[in-house]
């Protein structure tokens, strides 16, 4: 049985190692300084990490920013609503294609109202088929696609932003 719970601050090093071990692929943009900033937000209580585990083994991780930490470049998509930004969803390589990513997203959706959120946002490389399926399964809708040369180095180098309306 898969257990979903918020990570403890004492687990941040373990979470970061998991992110780099299982999250690096051609579609993901994981610069060290950006990841360090995400973990600083978690340490400051402005973001959370949700862990999926089986018998104490971590098999999935979602990092989401609380509404007060919504990145500026996502404000236009929030329509001035209180919005959670899901920065990372990573599944252990041995557990891919089992619905764990979609379940992590669903768990974040369930927790978002407790943070005062009315909307959730996330993004993906436009051509990342696996992420597209996971996000669609969780109920996210495409909002915008744009060329993103700073973050994307493969394929069409575009980002798609998706949203989930809680209202």
* pLDDT tens, position by position, 2-34: 999 999 999 999 999 999 999 988 888 788 889
Question: What mean pLDDT do residues 40-56 have?
Answer: 97
pLDDT of residue 153: 87
Q: Which helix (H) or strand (E) holds 131?
A: helix 129-137
pLDDT of residue 116: 97
pLDDT of residue 97: 84
Pick the CATH number of 3-119 from 3.40.630.30, 3.40.50.10880, 3.30.930.10, 3.30.565.10: 3.40.630.30
- Long-range (24+ apart) CB contacts under 8 A made by 75-78 are 77/121, 77/143, 77/144, 77/161, 77/163, 78/119, 78/121
144-166 pLDDT per residue, tens: 999 999 889 899 999 999 999 99
74-85 pLDDT per residue, tens: 999 999 999 999
pLDDT score of 117 more than 90: yes
Copy the structure tokens of residue 136: 């669609």
Share of the chain above pLDDT 70, in %: 100
Question: What mean pLDDT do residues 40-45 have?
Answer: 98
Question: Residue 101's pLDDT band (boundaries 50, 70, 90)?
Answer: very high
**Residue ranges per structural domain of the chain:** 3-119
pTM for the structure as a whole: 0.94
pLDDT of residue 28: 82
In terms of Cα–Cα distance, which of 40, 55, 64 is closest to 123? 64
Beta strands in 1-140 (DSSP E): 3-6, 47-54, 57-65, 83-91, 119-125
Q: Which helix (H) or strand (E) holds 16?
A: helix 12-23
């Amino acid at each position: 049985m898969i257990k979903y719970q918020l990570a403890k601050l004492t687990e941040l090093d373990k979470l970061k190692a998991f992110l780099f071990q299982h999250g690096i692929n051609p579609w993901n943009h994981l610069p060290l300084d950006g990841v360090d900033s995400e973990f600083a937000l978690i340490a400051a209580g402005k973001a959370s990490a949700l862990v999926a585990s089986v018998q104490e083994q971590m098999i999935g991780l979602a990092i989401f920013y609380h509404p007060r930490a919504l990145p500026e470049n996502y404000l236009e998509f929030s329509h001035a609503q209180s919005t959670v930004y899901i920065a990372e969803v990573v599944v252990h390589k041995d557990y891919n294609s089992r619905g764990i990513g979609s379940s992590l997203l669903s768990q974040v959706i369930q927790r978002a109202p407790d943070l005062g959120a009315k909307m959730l946002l996330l993004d993906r490389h436009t051509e990342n088929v696996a992420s597209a399926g996971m996000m669609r399964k969780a109920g996210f809708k495409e909002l915008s696609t744009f060329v993103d040369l700073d973050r994307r180095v493969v394929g069409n180098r575009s980002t798609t932003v998706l949203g989930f309306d809680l209202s």
